[in-house]
Amino acid sequence: MKNTYLKLMIFGLTALLCSCSTTKYTYRQSNIPSKNVISGEVVVDTKLDLNKKIEATSSPRNSVNEAKEEAYYKAITQNNIDVVVDPIFEIHTDASFLGFGGKSTAKITGFGATYSNPRTKVEAINELTKVDTANIRKFDAIYLNKYTKKNAPQPANVSLTPSPTAGGLGALNASADKAKGPRLGWGVELTSMATGFVSGSTAFGDTATNTSIGLFKETSITPKFNLYRGVFYSTEGNGVQEIKYLRIPIMAKYFVFKKISINAGVQLGYATSFSGFDGLSDPASLDYGILYGLSYRISNGLSINYKFYKGINTVTSYYGQDLKNYNGGLSLAYHF
């Protein structure tokens, strides 16, 4: 009797375990809100409504992946869409005990999109202006990932802009590295300048030719404004009295044209050494004043600049005359 009861128990558990059904779900997805989606050799547009969020929740499932697949499937079928863009999942998994429980539930949130305007790859390329072999390679590299980094063409600035005649996929505007616009970031600059001292509007002594060299960094604030700052080492003075400075210029650059900017700001200086000040007071260790000028971009990586500096504080004194720094000159800058 006990054996019969044990056999019935084993049979019942086996039947119970074997009767569990499993449902699989498949779906389409787009993790990046891209305007154009390619499937094989077919190009389609996606109509995306960013003002309408899509949500769906799965039933309790045996694994997190199953729960996510069901949630995604429900999001598509219940909202009559073709793809969920930028999906975010919220996962909840119950605690398990002795093999029981541990079910996972997934909630998806994203944006719904539908496919429209299907056409072949050739038809899509025909929508582009100035089609050539380079453009076709760029198309394949961007949309079909046919090229590796080693042999891929290097379109420096590729963008899609709406075409008045094309339904969705615009004209391909590709340009070489030079069309990227002026380089920003760090650079090195060498300046040849005329330097001297002034008391009021009268120069004190002669004007000397000196140099300045240093590093700078230029960043974009708006399409018209850049911020320029740097650290420079310069030799200044009138040829008899000489001061070596560690300079920190800070300027705003306003672009009146694409390659020409008007620059204005301030400059600080710390005197690291000096010579020739017999009969004059020792120069002040700190100097500051107004810095302004013009810049012209020769190319992405090169620019020429005119700078003029007028000191505000007194550097030294000579029989009651307060002497201040002034200098001006041309520089050549290389932008990394």
Could you read off the pLDDT of 214-243 as tens digits, one per residue?
Answer: 999 999 999 899 999 999 999 999 999 999
pTM assigned to the model:
0.49
The one-letter amino acid code at 76 reads I
The beta strands (E) that lie in 221-312 are given as 225-237, 242-255, 260-275, 286-297, 302-311
Q: Are 289 and 310 in contact (CB under 8 A)?
A: yes
DSSP β-ladder status, 83-93 and 104-120:
antiparallel
User: Residue 51: its pLDDT value, please?
Assistant: 81
- How far apart CA 131 and CA 137 sit, in angstroms, is 11
Name the β-bridge partners of 99. Answer: none
Profile the chain (336 residues) by mean pLDDT over runs of 10 residues.
52 46 53 52 81 88 88 90 89 72 86 86 71 70 64 46 40 41 87 95 92 96 94 96 97 95 98 94 96 95 96 93 95 95
**C-alpha dist (Å) from residue 49 to 33, 57, 159, 162:** 11, 21, 22, 18
Give me the phi and psi of 16, to 5 degrees please.
-65, -45
Rg (CA), the chain: 35
Q: The tokens of 184 are what?
A: 């920003």
User: Residue 131: its pLDDT value, please?
Assistant: 61
Q: The tokens of 83 are what?
A: 């793809």
Which residues neighbour 20 within 8 Å (Cβ) at sequence distance 6 or greater? Answer: none
Cα angle 12, 13, 17; round to 5: 120
Which residues neighbour 61 within 8 Å (Cβ) at sequence distance 6 or greater? Answer: 67, 70, 103, 104, 105, 106
- How far apart CA 38 and CA 142 sit, in angstroms, is 11
User: Residue 309: its pLDDT value, please?
Assistant: 97
- How far apart CA 13 and CA 225 sit, in angstroms, is 75
